Amino acid sequence: MTTLPAVHEEVARADADAASVPPFAVIPGSQVHEVLRGREKSVVEVVERTYRMHGSGRSVNPPSSFLRFPDRPSARIIALPASLGGDTRVDGLKWISSFPTNVASGIPRASAVLILNDPVTGYPFACMESSIISAARTAASATAAADRLSRGRPRPTRLGFVGAGLIARYIHTYLQGTGWSFDAIGVHDLSADSSAGLRMYLEQAGAVGRVTVHRGAEELIRHSDLIVFATVADRPHISDPSWFRHNPVVLHISLRDLAPQVLLSATNIVDDIDHCLRASTSPHLTERLTGNRDFLHGTLDDVMAGRVTVPADRPAVFSPFGLGVLDLAVGKYVYDEVALSGRLQTIDNFFSELRRHG
Say if residue 128 is in the same domain as residue 149: no
Say if residue 108 is in the same domain as residue 201: no
Domain presence at residue 354: no
Residues of the chain by 3-state class (helix, strand, coil), percent to 5: 40, 25, 35
Per-residue pLDDT reduced to its tens digit, 301-345: 999 999 999 999 999 999 999 999 999 999 999 999 999 999 999
Q: What is the per-residue pLDDT for 106?
A: 85
More confidently predicted of 326 and 107: 326
Domain presence at residue 358: no
Quote the percentage of the chain above a pLDDT of 90. Answer: 87
**How far is Cα 202 from Cα 187, in angstroms, rounded to an integer?**
10
Say if residue 88 is in the same domain as residue 127: yes
Sign of the C-alpha dihedral computed for residues 201, 203, 207 and 210 taken in this order: positive
**How far is Cα 289 from Cα 78, in angstroms, rounded to an integer?**
26
Per-residue pLDDT reduced to its tens digit, 191-224: 999 999 999 999 998 877 799 999 999 999 999 9
Domain presence at residue 103: yes
Domain presence at residue 178: yes
Per-residue pLDDT reduced to its tens digit, 36-81: 999 999 999 999 999 999 999 999 999 999 999 999 999 999 999 9
User: What CATH number has the domain bearing residue 118?
Assistant: 3.30.1780.10
Domain presence at residue 352: no
Residue 5 has pLDDT above 50, yes or no: no
**How far is Cα 269 from Cα 199, in angstroms, rounded to an integer?**
29
Q: How many other CB atoms are found less than 10 A from the CB of residue 248?
A: 25
Q: What is the per-residue pLDDT for 205?
A: 87
If pLDDT is split at 50, 70 and 90, which confidence band does 268 have? very high
Say if residue 272 is in the same domain as residue 295: yes
**How far is Cα 346 from Cα 227, in angstroms, rounded to an integer?**
42
Checking DSSP bridges between strand 316-319 and strand 24-27, what pairing results, if any? unpaired
Say if residue 289 is in the same domain as residue 342: no
Say if residue 311 is in the same domain as residue 328: no
Sign of the C-alpha dihedral computed for residues 124, 347, 50 and 318 taken in this order: positive
Residue 11 has pLDDT above 50, yes or no: no
User: What CATH number has the domain bearing residue 280?
Assistant: 3.40.50.720
Per the structure, the complete domain to which residue 149 belongs is given by: 142-319
Measuring CA to CA, how many Å separate 124 from each of 121, 128, 190, 245?
Answer: 9, 11, 41, 50
**How far is Cα 326 from Cα 334, in angstroms, rounded to an integer?**
12
Q: What is the per-residue pLDDT for 267?
A: 98
Q: What is the per-residue pLDDT for 357?
A: 78
pLDDT, average across residues 117-145: 97
Domain presence at residue 356: no
Say if residue 198 is in the same domain as residue 226: yes
Per-residue pLDDT reduced to its tens digit, 159-193: 999 999 999 999 999 999 999 999 999 999 999 99
pLDDT, average across residues 349-353: 90
**How far is Cα 241 from Cα 293, in angstroms, rounded to an integer?**
19
Say if residue 315 is in the same domain as residue 330: no
Say if residue 56 is in the same domain as residue 122: yes
Per-residue pLDDT reduced to its tens digit, 238-267: 999 999 999 999 999 999 999 999 999 999
Say if residue 187 is in the same domain as residue 238: yes
Domain presence at residue 123: yes
Residue 101 has pLDDT above 70, yes or no: yes
Domain presence at residue 4: no
Give the count of domains, the chain.
2
Say if residue 31 is in the same domain as residue 171: no
Say if residue 171 is in the same domain as residue 303: yes
Residue 135 has pLDDT above 70, yes or no: yes
